[in-house]
Structure 1
Amino acid sequence: KVEVTTGSMTQAGTFNHVCVTLIGTRGVSERTKLDKIGPDLETAMKRVYNAKTQLPLGKLLLVKVGKNLYHCLPDDELFYSKIVVTTPEGESILFPSYRWLIGHRKHQLIFKKGLHWIEDEFYGYQFLNGVNPNAITKCSELPKNFPVTEEMVKPFLEGSSLQSEMTKGNIFIYDQKKMEGLPVRDYEGKPLHVTPGLCLLYVNSKQNLVPIAIQQLHQEPAEENPIFLPSDSETDWLLAKIFIKNADALNHQAVTHLMRTHFLAEVYIVAALRCLPEIHPIYKLLFPHFRYTLHINTGGRKSLFGPDGALHTSSLGYDGIIELMRRSLAQITYSSFFLPENITARGLDSIPNNYYRDDGLKLWNIISFVKTMVEYYYPTDDDVRKDTELQEWISEIFTHFPTCFRTVEEVIRFITMFIFTVSGQHSYDYCSMMPNYSLLLRKPPPTSKGQSTKETILETLPNVGEAVGFATMAIVLTGNYADKVFLGNYPHERFDEPVPKKIIEEFQAKLANLTKEIEQRNSAAEPPYIYLDPSQMENSIAI
């Protein structure tokens, strides 16, 4: 049985034909039309339908929803709140959505089963494929301030030793040293706490990345700063993971998301608008990737940093967020913006199940279509050096990174990085579930083991009103809207020469092939990784 709940907002229902397909580990159901006597899928409606399947599906993984036009009626949008599937064995499985299904025919909405955020496997998975996949590095030697012993972690290394696994390249580390001493805001008259913690992770025999040790209170080891282990009490271990994820959430929103995509893109765009005329080939190439960014950044400064904004009300507050961004900006290297070099520098070339890396590198190589485009307009390095408008653009962007373009290759690298930053690097999810991704924790980390309870966890997490505010921000930042322009689409024709037009067509074809590759892999992946699918990502930072 399939129970479908539509949203309560105006025009959340649809007159279109809607069909569902259930996908399990052992098979796929027939495509079932949601059609019963009486009205179907109106606003604020809950209806139950029977899905048809000839064979057992096994463990249910996905629900695919698609819609088609109904006779001559116009296409309309549909807002799904959730789908609950009840198996023949009586198990009820929730597939939350809370988003719009837009378009018809091949447009499909994929519902994922609610993931178990508590599990160590999913915790580690997010460091590779979650909102902030640039946070861990390979660990070949433990930092002196993180005194994890062989005895501590031996039970979690499947008969091996820590030194042996480091030698094999199976140990990784998350280190938030830059958060040490950051200003925090007061909450009910007391200062909050943000952990500059360390987390050690291990790639096990199932090729899952899992946490095996966490030091959360501060960087220096001490009796009141114990190292928590998976063998500790369930609530102790869960709290340790929550505090690390709190630091990661703050770093993601302030640095990875806002600073490294929104604000740096704004610098590139403003400089381009000031320095490049509209007829300049680089302006024409990049203009579709400017769409809405300045508008969204202007509004975002108020909605995120204002008195009631999500970052203002986070554990760090306004002053702490600004200081975190200042420290991070001072540590940025130019090479870290280039995905292939970033992956190699962090030692993630061969770690398994890293879909961000796999899809990202393929996307990066496809975006390198700019090589052919740039070489068409700049046949030689001398042509680059003589373009005063191009040189003025890059010199206005950077002060301690490259302040001029000397070669064609340098232009190609920068433009590839720019397009990847505003498209692939800006795609993410998993941030609307508060325990899994909380910008605010109300209590400090425990200073000893065995003292925490479930009540401690509830008292630490945001209250209901605060959680709703943060979740609303996350939903807005990852939501759908009607006029998206996806990567590779150029609604306004700016090039009239045959060669650039041909180059763009080839770029679009390669993006379509990547989408097919990702869809094929995702048919057997749990959870499916869709965030670097070109058909799912926008041309620009538009939200």
Structure 2
Amino acid sequence: MEVYTVTVATGTSEYSGTNNYIFVTLVGEKGESERTLLDNPGLDFCRGAVDQYKVTSSSHLGPIQLVRLEKQRYWLEDNWFCRYVTVEPPGGGTVLTFPCYRWLIGDIKVEIREGTAKTVRDDSSPQLLAHRKTELQERKTTYRWVTWAPGIPRCIDAKTEADLPQDVRFDNEKRSDFEHSLQYALLELSLKKMAIRFGKSWCDLDDFKRIFWRLRSPIAEYCMEHWKEDWFFGYQCMNGSNPRMIQRCKKLPENFPVTPNMVQSSMAPRTNLNKEIKAGNIYLLDYAVMDGIPANTIRGKIQHIAAPLCLLYQHPDDGLIPIAIQLEQNPDKDTPIFLPKDPPLAWLLAKMWVRHSEFQVFQLLSHLLRTHLVVEVFCVATLRQLPAVHPIYKLLAPHLRYTLEINCRGRTQLISPDGIFKRVVSTGGDGLLILAQREYKVLTYRSLNPRHDFDDRGVSRLPKYFYREHSLMLWEAIFSFVSGIVNLYYQSDHDVQEDLELQAWIRDITQEGFTELPNFGLSSKLSTREELSILLSVAIFTSTAQHAATNNGQFDWCAWVPNTPCTMRHPPPTDKDAVTMEMIMATLPDVSQSCVQMAITWHLGRAQPDAIPLGKYTEDHFTEKQAQELIDKFRMELKKIEDNIVSQNEGLELQYLFLLPSRVENSITI
């Protein structure tokens, strides 16, 4: 009689435990153990429990290949989350770890593999090859592609988050916090509207201070004090919620007829516009993507949209400052070029219109499309094409946590025909989809790589561009870690080419996920280890650093509504001298819209209480010592980056901490 010691770990989140029957069978090369009932129902497998049992076999089983777990109802159905199982052979010896990290729902039988990461070429056992095939067949049935709307990346086939498998749903704590946070924000919103309704409506800009109650942040209050200043406008182009819009201006656009004389007063002594263009000190914001987007109608009133061009100058003393703004793409007598020397209210309103376009672009394109929807493609393809034992699945799994649910919630609650964008945002309704479709048509794989992105936009020498500096530090750390993992499991480029599961994965990404993109620039075949390392680094960087850069500061930059208005209720001005404070207040969001903007950006931008920071892995998918050493090295590098960023920000009145590794989540969860 052979006796094996089996340890079973239950999940630590709420309701992970079960009072149902749990059975185990050990499957080895030479046979199977007895089917063994592991617990006393209701006593073992409590939340966070690590329980140990003895499992017997009439003969030695040889190397253990699979652990078969079965759950059967006792009195009531009670789901169970299993973290892992370990098996110690008779007489001691190497303890084998079998990662699980999944829910067992209903009367169910699952088989889990020992944790050593293996590609399909590493498996020779017919039984293990059959297990891989069966697992993927089940996953492809469970996780299906669907087209939510034409002209954008495809997504998971789920009408709401309730249609998702439990394994990719929020934990109960996350769900409770998410819904409580939204209710709290909306309650404060309702109280504000009630309080303000019985007082006066917006009459001047200071009135917006009346919606700063408990929802506040140091940067939001700093923004309230400095938002009118030109240097602060320029700072946000580099380090705000949309830090990748700015590009070097090598030649003035033909549709933006700025002359040197117009902007001479904004220049440093003994220079001019043409000299500064040649010197690389002139930059451009071009919102051509907004041109012709249909405006939303809110409570029966048409909103308004502009497609501005904004010229900026890297002043040797004042930093990056705006020097000319045109609010439409086609210049004419009703589309003046606004300048800093114009009447102060006219210049201020022109900057507001640029920032209004910034709200649309950062929320729908930089944030939603270029992080959430891009990462969802990687998520669905990974679940469909890579078994849990595959090293690339193990690498990506922590960076895909909760992404499917938050995206489903976004589609049903934010951008749906009756969602929040339709209620308060100028591009709500048809506009947001048309805007996303336009950006998707020109989306390139190259632009998702920060190394190329900064070079292509010509901003590699732009001073105080903290987003660039911190992004590149994180990119290098991620790429080094990923390359180490890839080289550990693929000894040559040939190994990459011969991995049939990996090749199916890249085809799913390019041919199913990123459809209708002939110029995307990502091949449907992976040929080298470097190609694979770059692609995986792009996926991880996008789901961590890039998402943090666009998401985490949205309350900071949007809570003071005049700085980044979600909608505009009157059209852009056509006469600089006609701009009055009454016109500005009639154009900016009303009380209700302002309250919703503040509440929702707080809800979406706040730090998540269950956040798992970049580099911290709460689930041990990798069990090999070499892989764990690479993870430890990655964590040490992130600690150096953390210390570097903290040191860099010491003494700064306005600190840039959005890419502090401890504040960057490991996945898109909000």
- 2:340: which partner in 1? 230
1:204 aligned onto 2:312: no
Tell me the SS of whatever aligns to 1:324.
helix
Cα separation, 1, equivalents of 2:227 and 2:213: 17
Which residue of 406, 420, 424 corresponds with 2:545?
424
Q: For 2:607 and 2:248, how far apart are their aligned partners in 1?
A: 36
| Greater mean deviation of Cα atoms: 390-399 or 143-152 | 390-399
Counterpart position of 2:639: 512
Which of 222, 227, 245 aligns to 1:114? It is 222
- Is 1:254 the equivalent of 2:364? yes
Cα offset, 1:482, TM superposition: 2.1
Cα drift, residue 417 of structure 1: 0.7
Q: Does 1:338 align with 2:449?
A: yes
For 1:59-78, list aligned pairs within 5 A: none
Q: Give, in whole Å, the separation in 1 of the partners of 2:505 and 2:603.
A: 33
The residue type equivalent to 1:523 in the other structure is E
CA pair 208-406 structure 1, distance change in 2 beyond 3 A: same
1:187/1:442 contact within 8 Å kept: no
Match of 2:25 in 1: none
TM-score, scaled relative to structure 2: 0.64
* Superposition pairs of residues 153-232 of structure 1, within 5 angstroms: 153-159=263-269, 160-187=271-298, 189=300, 191-206=302-317, 208-216=319-327, 218-232=328-342
- The answer (yes or no) to whether the contact 1:99–1:479 under 8 Å persists in 2 is no
The whole-number CA distance in structure 2 between the counterparts of 1:392 and 1:163 is 52
Counterpart amino acid of 1:413? I
- CA distance in 2: counterparts of 1:316 and 1:537, whole angstroms: 29
Report matched runs for 1:75-94 at 5 Å.
none
Q: Report the structure number with the largest CA radius of gyration.
A: 2
Q: Which of these residues, 472, 485, 488, is aligned with residue 376 of structure 1? A: 488
Deviation, 1:439, is: 1.8
1:454 maps to which residue? Answer: 581
CA distance in 2, matches of 1:358, 1:414: 21
Q: Retained in 2: the 8 A contact 1:207–1:353?
A: no
Higher helix proportion = 2
Within the candidate set 422, 429, 434, 1:312 is matched to 422
Name the CA distance, whole Å, in 1 between partners of 2:532 and 2:416: 37
Aligned-residue Cα RMSD (Å) equals 2.1
Identity %: 39
Letter in 1 for 2:292: G
**1:187, distance to aligned residue in structure 2 (A):** 4.3
- What's 1:471 paired with? 598
CA contact (8 A) 1:131 1:431 kept: no
**Larger relative contact order, structure 1 or 2 (CA cutoff 8 Å, min sep 6):** 2
Q: CA deviation at 1:179?
A: 1.4
1:431 Cα shift?
Answer: 2.6
Structure-2 change in CA distance of 1:451 and 1:324 (3 Å):
same
Q: Assess if the C-alpha contact under 8 Å between 1:97 and 1:111 holds in 2.
A: no
Aligned-partner Cα distance in 2 for 1:527–1:433: 16
Query: What are the within-5 Å matches in structure 2 for residues 347-426 of structure 1?
Result: 347-368=458-479, 369-399=481-511, 400=518, 401-426=522-547
Query: SS state of the match for residue 178, structure 1?
Result: helix
Match of 2:618 in 1: 491
Deviation at 1:526, TM superposition (A): 2.8
Aligned residue-pair number: 443
2:66 is matched with which residue? none
Segments ≥4 residues shifted beyond 3 Å: 96-100, 109-113, 187-191
Give the match's secondary structure for 1:173.
Answer: strand
CA contact (8 A) 1:343 1:357 kept: yes
Q: Which residue matches 1:268?
A: 378
SS at match of 2:382: helix
Asked if the contact 2:310–2:322 (Cα under 8 Å) also holds between the matched residues in 1, the reply is: yes
Q: What residue is the counterpart of 2:134 in the other structure?
A: none
Is 418-427 or 111-120 further displaced after alignment?
Answer: 111-120
Residue 338 of structure 1 aligns to which amino acid in structure 2?
A: N
C-alpha displacement of 1:189: 4.7
CA distance in 1, matches of 2:411, 2:300: 26
C-alpha distance in 1 between matches for 2:326 and 2:263: 13
Change (3 A) 1:463 1:308: farther
Distance in 1 (CA, whole Å) between partners of 2:380 and 2:497 is 22
Q: After superposition, what is the alpha-carbon deviation per residue over 1:108-141, rounded to whole angstroms, capped at 9, x for unaligned?
A: x977862311111110111101000111110111
Unpaired runs of at least 5, structure 2: 1-183, 189-211, 512-517
Shift of the alpha carbon at 1:183? 1.5
Offset of 1:192 from its aligned partner?
A: 2.6
User: How far is 1:97 from its partner?
Assistant: 9.8
* Native 8 Å contact 2:219 2:654 kept in 1: no
Q: Cα deviations across residues 301-347 of structure 1 (Å, max 9, x unaligned)?
A: 12212355332231122211100100100011211000010000000
1-side partners of 2:505 and 2:604: how far apart?
30
2:263 and 2:281 map into 1 onto residues whose CA distance is 14
Show CA shifts across 1:511-534 (max 9, x none).
Answer: 011111111111122311001110
Contact 2:614–2:662 (Cα < 8 Å) also in 1? yes
| 8 A contact 2:220–2:559 mirrored in 1 | no
Distance across 1 between alignment mates of 2:588 and 2:342: 20
Q: Which amino acid aligns with 1:423?
A: T
Deviation per CA, 1:397-419: give whole Å up to 9, x if none. 11443212111111100111111
In 2, are the aligned partners of 1:171 and 1:200 still within 8 Å (CA)?
yes
CA distance in 1, matches of 2:278, 2:434: 36
Aligned partner letter, 2:436? M
Q: Tell me by how many angstroms 1:454 deviates.
A: 1.4
SS state at 1:317 partner = coil
Task: Give the whole-Å Cα distance in 2 for the aligned partners of 1:121 and 1:290.
Answer: 38
